[in-house]
Amino acid sequence: MSELTKQHFEACSKNAPTVTDIEKQTLHKDIPDWNFVETDGEEQLQKIFKLKNFAQAQAFTNKVGDLAEAEDHHPAILLEYGKVTVNWWTHAIGGLHKNDFIMAARTDAAYNDME
């Protein structure tokens, strides 16, 4: 399990800086299966999770939703049969913050708990 799952999640204002390239490289080592993608000009973390069927994918989606609601930090989630795509980024700053890496690690942990 990634050490990021245990790190403190901080409230983020619209004036918070995005992570630097060096911070991205360091933080990404804890979540190597996540990809950097750009959507509407905003850098995001994305991962596709494979599950056995729609019911499991929906259950996982709900787990991610609960994680998001607990921190008031909400991803884009695409639920499909046997597959869930999750994108984390910080809406307020239009890019990536350390919080996004923490939430990605927590998402991985939630997925691992389902196996």
Task: Indicate whether 12 belongs to any domain.
Answer: no
Confidence of residue 15 (pLDDT cuts 50, 70, 90): confident
- Assess contact for 45 and 100: CB atoms under 8 A: yes
Task: Indicate whether 57 belongs to any domain.
Answer: no
- Assess contact for 31 and 107: CB atoms under 8 A: no
Structural domain boundaries, residue 106 = 65-115
Task: Indicate whether 94 belongs to any domain.
Answer: yes
Number of domains in the chain: 1
DSSP 6: G
b/e per residue 76-91 (b: at least 16 CB within 10 A) = ebebeeeebebbbbbe
Measured distance CA(9)–CA(62) in Å, rounded = 20
pLDDT in tens, 29-57: 999 999 999 999 999 999 999 999 999 99
